[in-house]
Structure 1
């Protein structure tokens, strides 16, 4: 069986769509159909259950980006993320140790499954444990490996809280509310040439370490960016030394026509994912971090209302000061009545000062955050990025 025949066969199982049929026809003629590639995302677990997610798609042929890549190379990489087809209705097997479960990819190529957690949940430090996802027999001959390894988070006992953070316009400049500028960034920048907001990396490291500076608070990144961008966002976080965490992104059919919609929508999925985390970890308190460009303040207020005494603080980056000022003030007053601090500021420094004052991070970490933020602002590359963005 030729390497691409499995891909073609599973693509034929998709719901009929004239555009998809034509795209498949053109890709076949040009020899652009890739071999199947399995991408296991980071999962997470509590005392009872392990939650796993992954993606089966064509191999996009993407390599690790560099700061020297041209704008054309960056654009081609982004277009590959949105033109590669996902593979639906494929039966896979996920396993953790001796436990195994069968799962099937959905129409968008994603699979989700849950396994009983029989492992220890009493380690003081966060544990990243391994799991395997196995290809069906008919695919093994056309792929390099029989299975692909992923990892899942088991939070340790040495934590004071967990952090749930947005990504776009919270840790990275995205211009989510300005589709042309957002599209320009997506097409012509990569994970090495896009920079975090000044000081955000040091602030997040301080949050992970907590008040004592010795904790290991778990991180979850919940974003309206699509799963297609997982590799870019994961590499961005790693390269910029943001705390390793679980990424929970938006489900969207891969299509060049969806590129403009990236990061948009009604964001209800963010509420559902955050609510799920509160339910999965019922004894854990949370810090919520986002921006006021879209719906983060409203979602976080809703969560704080539904889970009283579980939200320690909410930090909002103000990227649109005037448009949402009245809404943000109203939300802040409601949250104050519930005893939940709502801190809106344009920089990480103001958030860090509040966190230090109220025992969320070490007081000594504020100076380091201020110094690093200043260095970020003075960095010629960072200046260039922010001027253009």
Structure 2
């Protein structure tokens, strides 16, 4: 985005008409009404929560609460570089979303009042990182970590089978709604939430929103070489540690790699994740099988890293007792421990 001007872009209209069908009897949505900002993309462009306005009021009765809102990106088309990049990402997202229900897929981009806009389903529970920061600051309960990883791995397996890499796997890009479902942001739907920006501004540790950069696999850090599926798998391992620790609170790349090295070493003699934590009163044990899987994702040699398809047939995922519904119920019933305002 270096070629874009640094001026603040013009805000899109408060109400954005969308043409779905010329059929006057169509009861589908006719426009989106912006509600408030929920984040930014490309470092400076806003992302909005928007209400879906239907032609026929009776249509509201047929919708679930999740279907009444969308997340909305708009970029002033005078920003040539940003507009071109967003259009490319939207095309990649649509292609990747075919037959992949665990991916948040954009609707067809539409121009309005000099802006290029695109929308996708709003995920009312927010990101796993936000859920973790507010309700599980010491880490997600171990029995639910495979639930989150399983949905992530199934999404990745679908992408990898079609020769597509995700390139941005972390807890901030894994979202949950009230249905309940766990889905991944990808390409055009990726953004940094307002909550993450607040958490980042109040911390002296490396910013979680940029974890894909400072926690990148060794073969592409610090200089980005060719990204591979194995890079995605490294980030799955990093995400697992993030879930277990309640965030990777490190101040440098060296500190992160020291943590990874210790984890892999301890996985061979199986100490359990609670032995690795600096301080926590929570009694939790990272099971031996899951610890070995995470270590297998974090192998330095990318050719030796586990693949999503192989992990999914392991006992950790085929025999796990918890599911998304149970995790959702647990999250809803868990009191808020940290306010993000």
TM interval, short-chain normalised: 0.3 to 0.5
TM-score of the superposed pair, with normalisation by structure 2: 0.32
Task: Identify, as 1 or 2, the structure richer in strand.
Answer: 1
* TM-score, with structure 1 as normaliser: 0.29
Query: Which structure carries more helix by proportion?
Result: 2
